[in-house]
Chain A
Amino acid sequence: MRYIILIFILFFNFSYVNADAIYNLIKIPNLEVHKVDDVNGIKYLISRRGFVIGDTNNIKCNGINNSDLDREFNTIQNNLRDYNSNFLRKINLKFVVLCKNLEISGINTGGIPDNKFRTLILDLTFNRNYFERMIHHEIFHMIDNSFPELFKKNKWSKLNNKDFSYASCSTCTDLLGLDLEITKGFLTEYSMSTAEEDMAEIYSLLKTNFKEIDLLIKKDNILTKKKNFLINGLKEIDEKFIF
């Protein structure tokens, strides 16, 4: 019994030490290294005990166990391998933090990008139907945050019909549906919330189901312009970029 307690204490101590070193780097506590991907250099960090961060402690996420990780890790890694290390460096993404039941200011969310610390926090328990899309959606936010001059919101907004206007923020509206639902110039209900979310929705849908979505886009004049707008910006970042 005494050896079991000793082993437990040692294990706890090692995790704690590593967590402190990681905290030093990205200011998220209670993390441990899961894997460093030698394909694109992404460092995957996991939270076993959960964390609360943010200036007002408004970002919360619970710890994950091995079964959570086994279920989703390969999906995340495969999707992120679409991006090479050079592109990731440009969009300031180096660390991916995996946890579950992620929320910001009490609102559940699939991911939170943090360009300052080159970190993307992902919720492993996010709705499976939209999980892969969510990853690319958040990646687009990192792209947008890194190159706002390439994705100007006022220019984008002018691509819509004149009688349309976005909400002032993505959570200030009831337009939260993520299912494919084409309305003039939009692919989902959530697209209508803000210009940023509209861009991220089109980007993520093209990234995860290019053939089908591209056919739908071609039938819609506004969506075609929006797709071209995105491609022009993305080519500025990486001239070889393809969806």
Chain B
Amino acid sequence: MIKKIKPSLSEKILFIFLILLIILTLGSFYILNNKCLFVKKIDLNNIDFKDKQNIAIMEVECGNVLIELDPKIAPKAVNRFKKLINRGSYNGSAFYRVIENTLIQAGDIEYGNVSNLNYSKVGTGKSGLGTIKSELSDNFLFNAGSVAFARKDQFDTEDSEFFITLIDIPIYQGEYTPIGKVIAGMDSLKKIKAGNKSTYVLKPDYIKNIKLLVN
């Protein structure tokens, strides 16, 4: 007859410790892999929009981002932005250029869509609509959440690419054409994948879709 051996107290404690360790490891793995875990979701019903005609809703990996467009400051730029949204041109557009904790950039329609990302040419693509004149303003403050059209080194070269600032960058005031401000969803933008110091992000995050609240 086999005698049943009961575990000692220390063996029981060790077993419990091992179980906890496994739970902790798996939990940490889950948390580390889920960058959106602590990002607060936006409930559109709880937001009182002052100007519904000028609200864009951009869906990224961690949730929705609401952008209030400012046509008073940059009418042509906002018109172009809306046109590209309505065409669906920005859907799938990669955040190919990310300066960590500083700004994120997307909107290369020709070479920067995740379904057809061209790493050697991204950032040089065109929308096919031509460039627009810079609409600069000394009244638009480039604080965190500012949305503006990117441009080449010269003015009047804005086309479709835009960037969003993640911090205050006052030196950009009067240098870039503003489109609007992020009014909700900054946490989701801060989770956008950053690259290293290279010119683009490998396997970048992207805009799932972007639409206007009222068409």
Verify B153–A116 contact, CB threshold 8 A.
yes
Question: Are A17 and B171 touching (Cβ within 8 A)?
Answer: no
* In contact, A22 and B171 (Cβ under 8 angstroms): yes
Complex interface: chain B residues within 8 A of A43 (CB): 171
B176: nearest residue on chain A (CB-CB)? A25
B169 on the interface (CB 8 Å rule)? Answer: yes
Give the CA-CA distance A25 to B170 in the complex, in Å. Answer: 12
How long is the Cα–Cα vector from A33 to B170 in the complex, in angstroms?
Answer: 10
B99 is an interface residue with CB less than 8 A from chain A: yes
For A18, what are the chain B residues with a Cβ–Cβ distance below 8 Å? Answer: 169
Q: Is the CB of A21 within 8 A of B169?
A: yes
CB nearest neighbor in A for B167? A17
Complex Cα spacing A21 to B144, Å: 12
The smallest C-beta distance from B178 to any residue of chain A, in angstroms, reads 15
Q: Is the CB of A25 within 8 A of B171?
A: yes
Say whether B101 faces chain A, with CB atoms less than 8 Å apart.
yes
Measured in the bound complex, the distance between the Cα atoms of B100 and A117 in whole Å is 23
Chain B interface, DSSP helix/strand/loop, else mixed: loop
Assess whether B171 is in contact with A20, with CB atoms less than 8 Å apart. no
On chain A, the residues within 8 Å of B100 by CB distance are 17
Q: How far is the CA of A17 from the CA of B99 in the complex (A)?
A: 8
Residue count of chain A within 8 Å CB distance of chain B: 15
* A24 with B153, Cβ < 8 A, contacts A17-B167, A33-B171, A43-B171 known: no
Confirm or deny: B28 has a beta carbon within 8 angstroms of a beta carbon on chain A.
no
Docked complex Cα distance between A18 and B169 (Å): 8
Residue of B153, B154, B171, B174 touching A21 (CB-CB under 8 A): B171
Taken together as a complex, chains A and B put the C-alpha atoms of A24 and B172 apart, in Å, by 10
Q: How far is the CA of A21 from the CA of B99 in the complex (A)?
A: 8
Which one of A21, A33, A41, A116 contacts B103 once the chains associate, using CB atoms below 8 Å?
Answer: A21
**Would you give 25 A-B contacts (Cβ < 8 Å), ordered by A?**
A17-B99, A17-B100, A17-B101, A17-B102, A17-B167, A18-B169, A20-B102, A21-B102, A21-B103, A21-B167, A21-B169, A21-B171, A21-B172, A24-B103, A25-B171, A25-B175, A27-B153, A33-B170, A36-B170, A36-B171, A41-B174, A43-B171, A94-B175, A116-B154, A117-B153
* Shortest 7 CB-CB contacts between residues of A and residues of B: A21-B169, A20-B99, A17-B102, A20-B102, A21-B102, A33-B171, A17-B101
Please report B residues at the A interface, Cβ cutoff 8 Å. 99-103, 153-154, 167, 169-172, 174-175
A residues lining the B interface (CB < 8 Å): 17-18, 20-22, 24-25, 27, 33, 36, 41, 43, 94, 116-117
Known: A21-B167, A22-B171, A116-B153. 19 other contacts (CB 8 A): A17-B99, A17-B101, A17-B167, A18-B169, A20-B99, A20-B102, A21-B99, A21-B102, A21-B103, A21-B169, A21-B171, A21-B172, A24-B99, A25-B172, A33-B170, A33-B171, A36-B170, A36-B171, A117-B153
